[in-house]
Amino acid sequence: MMPAAAALATLCVLLALGGAPVEALQRLAQVTLVALAGGVLWDVLWLLRPAPRRAPDQTGLDQAADRPTIVVDGSNVMHWGGTPSRMVLTRVVAELVARGERPHVYFDANVGYKLADRFIDGPEMAGILQLPTDRVTVVDRGTPADPALLAHAVRARLRVVTNDRFIDWKPQFPQVGSRGFLVKGRWQEGTPMLRL
């Protein structure tokens, strides 16, 4: 939404420089403000929506159905919009869930400092992402998340959502070079684009 509002604002300036009527400029400025406010309102409502409730498993029969189907490099994904973003992260995870995936998200220990200027542990990150606590891992300080998430993905034969190429880890995890192992994505005008 922000690029659209920026484009409208630029159009306003160009029309003003070109001598457009004042009424047309005022109307275009109003449309620009409405577009910008709509985008901000959407983002606020998205972040404030209630967490879905899940009935506790009484039988233990759906244990396999709760296993992750994909691993997410959360420390990489949160940068897809440029700067570390909680919104980008939550929307990518929500998109995966909407597509039927059960993501397990891994983070370096400094994730909280990048998103909120304080430490955030695994259970708190799980709450932010609206995932079960056993599907979010914040590794210990001084330990990179990459080997933990790659080991999990290789062991469970899962794909990894990331734009990292893991060049340093390729000797230890040759699967990194396998076609389809790494799922690339990007953030485009408020929407996650995934190559699943």
166-196 per-position pLDDT tens digit = 999 999 999 999 999 999 999 998 899 998 8
Confirm whether pTM is higher than 0.85. no
pLDDT digits (tens, 9 = 90+) for 19-52: 777 787 777 778 777 777 777 777 767 667 665 5
Same domain, 10 and 38: yes
The confidence band for 101, taking pLDDT boundaries of 50, 70 and 90, is very high
Instruction: List all residues 6 or more positions away from 85 whose beta carbon is below 8 Å from its beta carbon.
Output: 78, 79, 115
User: How many independent structural domains does the chain possess?
Assistant: 2
Rounded distance between C-alpha atoms, residue 71 and residue 14, angstroms: 46
**Assigned domain for 84 exists:** yes
Is residue 55 a part of any domain in this protein? no
Would you say 105 and 130 are in contact if contact means Cβ atoms under 8 Å apart?
A: no
> What is the β-pairing status of strands 70-73 and 103-107?
parallel
